[in-house]
Amino acid sequence: MDIVKYPLLPYQQEGVQHLAFTERALLADEMGLGKTVQAIAASILLQQTKQIQRVLVVTTASLKSEWEEQIAKFTDLSSLPILGTRAKRLKQYRQDAFFYLMNYEQVVSDHAEIQQILAPDIVILDEAQRIKNWQTKTANAIKELKSRYAFVLTGTPIENRIDDIYSIVQFLDPHIFGSLFRFNRDFYTLDEAGKPIGYKNLDELYRRLRPIMLCRKKKDVEDELPQRLNNNYFVSMDQEQRSRYEDYETIVARLTNHAKHRPLRKEEFERLQQALACMRMICDTIYILDKDCTISPKLDELNQILEELLVDKANKIIIFSEWTGMLELIKNKMEEKNIEIAWHTGSVPQHKRREMIQRFKQDENCRLFLSTDSGSVGLNLQVANVVINMDLPWNPAKLEQRIARAWRKNQMRPVQVINLITENSIEHRMLYLLEEKQRLADGVLMGTEDFQEMKMPSGRAAFMERMEALLGDSINQDADVELIKEEDVLVDNIEKFSTTMILDSITEITDLAFDLYHYQDEQQQSSTVLLVSDEDVSEQIQEHLQTQLPDETMSIECIDRKTFEAVQRLVDAGILSFNNHAIQAQQSQPKKIVYIDKKQLELAKHHLTQAERKQKMASVLIQGDFAEEAIAPLKQAVESSIHAFAYLKNLYFNQDPADLSSPDIHNSFIQSILVEQHNMPDRIVSLFNQLQDSEDQNAQLLHDDHQHIIHHIHEHLGRVV
């Protein structure tokens, strides 16, 4: 059956024929047997024999990417994931494609338009247990979809009660069971009050299902199965997860953009590695970096997978994650469900590890083995037949080491490998890199690849290729946006520095009320600060103000308010016009005030947020017994705190703005301006001095001291109006 790019196994060919020739059919194969590819192949068979043109695939939101990739892998036919607002979706229904990929929630609101505009020839329901409750809006909306052909795919058509299958069969053929009342009468034993107390006629139930249902277990087809089954499950990010992910992605894009033009400094490269690590952590869960946030779509997806796998009591499952925090979330969730686990991480003492391993091997009730990569080498766990990777390691060898815990000599059963991958993320793009590395290894060691040579970029070229592969388009888009933002902020800062210095200078020598306007020419080659006061400004004051300007491209002019208002009226009447763009930069009060402008406040808050994030990262490392590794983010946290406090206290106004474009604070500036002139609280000075002493650095103490500094800055922010 050569209808897809790769050959189908004999049992899969049977499944394709069942779906295509039954027309409206249920495929209930056990997880891992390839229901998706069988449905794809059956659709192509009907295209070739019945000229069908449109296939609607309804699945969970997390599996749409998996369908898209499987269609691209096995066929040359087009697929269109339905995304966006309702208005966008309605336009997509009119676009040309063969496969249209939707999630159940979209069908609930769009079922009428789907029927009218899209009018699919085949409707495929994946994970069809979503409609097992016949009373839900989802089930009712799905049943409004009309098509000659329909394929229902589920590995668990009956999860709890026999009426789980009633709603599924109603979609395929409502005549098989008739009304729900008739179904209950036929297959339930009822007491005097009409409540079900048992099942009956189960052989008749099977007889009615048999024409439309094909159900195989792995044990039924094990002679046909390959020894190892690989499945990628794609999971979407939560909104908060995506926001935090993009924070680190922007840092990586900016640093990578710098690397295009010059080698990164050591501290920049370390920052890049930390940001990449944080991106990967957040793909699992924010909880790894922030214990107050337990958001993890991967954990939700894992729960659904385990619900199906644990139905078969013979299944034993190894769950790998690089991050202990991810395993903690899984452990907590399993304990809530009273599911027994074995726990294997670097923090578990050796004798306890042995106990956990033996328990997993010998206790039939202990069916989950949670492990970091400390358990990926040397362990023989062929008692397990499923390996779930919550995240992907950087190289294929480490991935193979994980899988080899179960897929090894003396393994008597096929091993299913499930990789949970956050879509449109660094993990998604790591798949390509892992495949390329494996292709190289296979070509050299096994002779399996038809190539004699392969390009091997070195140095900066190799680095840039890897980063571009990991970040995709965002490496250019985000980097360019960030550079533009940095430049805009820098120019805006120069203006704010100048006008705020003038404001401070005037309030030192006069109580006049005044406004400041900043005029910038179109080419931004020169600018003028205009002071509008209630009274004439003396010549002495004007000369004093001229000395406060940062360079020769900026000048200052003074005018009384009545004259300014008269000029403004002429401008409004069209008699006069300004050549330059004016911005009202500052406005004084009749008395001397303490002033922090909006931009300064935003910068202070920005650096405080950075300090808090680095503090959390250091906290995670310290809790994981990586005290030495925690020093670097602690240093960055303290630097960001000093930035925040300096902005709040207006301590940067006499500093060359070019120095502020770098994320690093020069020690000499801190020492001379912030420390020696007593502009910083004693606690910050003490912590700064500790960080300069490379021989006396206690990560936990530094961490605790810095926590007090963050509280101090929050208190200061609370007093800013």
Residue at 385: amino acid letter: N
Q: Specify whether the CB–CB gap between 604 and 532 falls below 8 A.
A: no
CATH code 3.40.50 for 491-587: no
Residue at 233: amino acid letter: Y
Read off the tokens for 269. Answer: 């490269």
Question: Taken in order 242, 248, 251, 254, is the CA torsion positive or negative?
Answer: negative
Residue 690, pLDDT score:
60
- DSSP 3-state assignment of 122? strand
Nearest-angstrom CA–CA distance, 509 and 699? 48
Nearest-angstrom CA–CA distance, 543 and 282? 56
Residue 119, pLDDT score:
94
Nearest-angstrom CA–CA distance, 229 and 317? 14
Read off the tokens for 138. Answer: 């989802």
**pLDDT per residue over 592-616, tens digit each?**
333 456 677 788 788 888 888 887 7
Could you tell me where in the chain the CATH 3.40.50.10810 domains are found? 10-224
Cβ-in-10-Å burial (0-12, 13-18, 19+) of 712 comes to middle
Could you tell me where in the chain the CATH 1.20.120 domains are found? 598-719
pTM here is 0.50
Q: Strand pairing of 341-344 and 368-371?
A: parallel
Read off the tokens for 606. Answer: 């920005």
The whole-angstrom distance between residue 56's C-alpha and the CA centroid of its chain comes to: 28
Nearest-angstrom CA–CA distance, 591 and 127? 70
Nearest-angstrom CA–CA distance, 637 and 635? 5
Read off the tokens for 304. Answer: 């659904």
DSSP secondary structure letter of residue 115: I
Arch. (CATH architecture) of 598-719? Up-down Bundle (1.20)
Nearest-angstrom CA–CA distance, 125 and 25? 11
Read off the tokens for 680. Answer: 């910083």
Residues 6 or more apart in contact with residue 251 via CB below 8 angstroms: 271, 272, 275
Q: Specify whether the CB–CB gap between 588 and 513 falls below 8 A.
A: yes
Read off the tokens for 213. Answer: 């249902």
At 363, which helix (H) or strand (E)?
A: none
Residue 305, pLDDT score:
94
Cβ-in-10-Å burial (0-12, 13-18, 19+) of 249 comes to buried
Neighbours of 473 (CB within 10 A): 8
Rg (CA), the chain: 33
Q: Specify whether the CB–CB gap between 261 and 269 falls below 8 A.
A: no
Q: Scanning the structure block, which residue is given the tokens 């103490």?
A: 701
Q: Specify whether the CB–CB gap between 126 and 67 falls below 8 A.
A: yes
Residues 6 or more apart in contact with residue 209 via CB below 8 angstroms: 26, 165, 169, 176
Neighbours of 171 (CB within 10 A): 20
Residues 6 or more apart in contact with residue 582 via CB below 8 angstroms: 517, 518, 519, 530
Superfamily of domain 10-224: Tandem AAA-ATPase domain (3.40.50.10810)
- DSSP 3-state assignment of 82? coil
Could you tell me where in the chain the CATH 3.30.460 domains are found? 491-587
Residue at 704: amino acid letter: D
Nearest-angstrom CA–CA distance, 114 and 100? 11
- DSSP 3-state assignment of 164? helix
Instruction: List the beta strands (DSSP E) in 375-493.
Output: 386-389, 415-422
The whole-angstrom distance between residue 29's C-alpha and the CA centroid of its chain comes to: 32
Q: Specify whether the CB–CB gap between 98 and 122 falls below 8 A.
A: no
Question: Taken in order 702, 707, 708, 712, is the CA torsion positive or negative?
Answer: positive
Q: Specify whether the CB–CB gap between 130 and 104 falls below 8 A.
A: yes
CATH code assigned to 228-237+297-450: 3.40.50.300
**pLDDT per residue over 530-557, tens digit each?**
777 766 665 555 665 655 554 455 677 7
Residue at 405: amino acid letter: R
Residue at 706: amino acid letter: H
- DSSP 3-state assignment of 516? strand
Nearest-angstrom CA–CA distance, 539 and 560? 13
- DSSP 3-state assignment of 721? coil
Q: Treating both helix axes as pointing N-terminal to C-terminal, what angle do 474-509 and 539-546 enclose, rounded to 10 degrees?
A: 150
Residue at 346: amino acid letter: G
Residues in the chain, pLDDT under 70: 1, 62, 159, 226, 350, 374-379, 397, 408-410, 434, 436-514, 516, 518-527, 534-554, 577-598, 621, 623-629, 649-721
Q: Specify whether the CB–CB gap between 175 and 147 falls below 8 A.
A: no
Q: What is the DSSP secondary-structure string of 226-280? A: -SEEEEEEEEPPPHHHHHHHHHHHHHHHHHHHHHHHSPPPHHHHHHHHHHHHHHH
At 79, which helix (H) or strand (E)?
A: strand 79-81
Could you tell me where in the chain the CATH 3.40.50.300 domains are found? 228-237+297-450
Cβ-in-10-Å burial (0-12, 13-18, 19+) of 719 comes to exposed
Q: What is the DSSP secondary-structure string of 180-205? A: HHHHHHHHEEE-TTS-EEEE--HHHH
Q: Up-side HSE of residue 356: CA atoms within 13 Å toward CB?
A: 20
Residue 39, pLDDT score:
97
